[in-house]
Structure 1
């Protein structure tokens, strides 16, 4: 078993105590919980505990995932000091997918959705790499 070192926020109860992700199975359980959970709880923010925090005590990075159980698709956004990136989805995929983190809506960039299998692989790579942007998926810079 690979020892992962990350924390995730995807339910209101994680606001005070984020969920630890220590194994591959923990990642799969989190994604399965998002897929099976309430309609407005289909997104998670994941942070590597191997990266330093900024002086204010906040993370210097974030991997945000959203999953859609009906479509069996998801999307990922990665942010750190190098910029903000979204996964590159299939041409013609949804224009502006919407996901919800503990009931709060967030729009994702157009055509950024990928298979759930790739979402799983990317989260596992993010954690096992110490919080680096996963290479198993294609990325595009986010435009504001």
Structure 2
């Protein structure tokens, strides 16, 4: 079954998202994001399966030759898992800064591969990446006795 993705990374995409139907277009949208923000800051896009009423979506970020992937679905939220480093990185998404663990950064080729897999599998979590659970800031703190 053929799928399409809707990609949002500029304010005007609220009315008219970028539509991705092929693996080639998935790579092209990442390259457009990289070119548009090359001299400014890391940029992030929200990606959903067109027409989906489901819970699955991704955020993909681009910063030069690296990027990040976040996935939310029925089993929870996850960030890509890259090289072990500490701290956070900040990506810009439609007027907001999004902080992610620094070890969420992976090679841009893996971001592209994850986006293509999300397209071809219809919204499932890509298997081409290692994943780490998202920290939930609203979670109840654990009491240690």
Q: Which residue of 1 aligns with 2:45?
A: 44
After TM superposition, which residue ranges in structure 1, 4 or more long, deviate above 2 angstroms? 38-41
For these two proteins, the number of residue pairs brought into alignment is 134
1:19 and 2:11 equivalent?
A: no
Give the TM-score, by structure 2 length.
0.84
- 2-side partners of 1:117 and 1:41: how far apart? 16
- 2-side partners of 1:88 and 1:115: how far apart? 11
Choose 117-126 or 98-107, whichever is displaced more: 98-107
Q: Which residue of 2 aligns with 1:64?
A: 59
- Following TM superposition, by how much is the alpha carbon of 1:40 offset from its aligned partner in structure 2, in angstroms? 4.7
- 2-side partners of 1:107 and 1:7: how far apart? 23
- What CA deviation, in whole Å up to 9, does each residue of 1:39-62 have, x standing for no partner? 2571111001364x1xxxxx5121
Q: Please, which runs of 5 or more residues in structure 1 have no aligned partner?
A: 54-58
Choose 108-117 or 40-49, whichever is displaced more: 40-49
Q: Which has the larger radius of gyration?
A: 2
The answer on whether the counterparts of 1:10 and 1:45 sit within 8 Å (CA) in structure 2 is yes
Q: Secondary structure at the match of 1:98?
A: strand
The answer on whether the counterparts of 1:109 and 1:142 sit within 8 Å (CA) in structure 2 is no
- 2-side partners of 1:42 and 1:23: how far apart? 22
- What CA deviation, in whole Å up to 9, does each residue of 1:4-33 have, x standing for no partner? 411110111101121110111211111001
- Following TM superposition, by how much is the alpha carbon of 1:105 offset from its aligned partner in structure 2, in angstroms? 0.9
Q: Which residue of 2 aligns with 1:56?
A: none
Q: Which residue of 1 aligns with 2:29?
A: 30
CA-based RMSD: 1.9
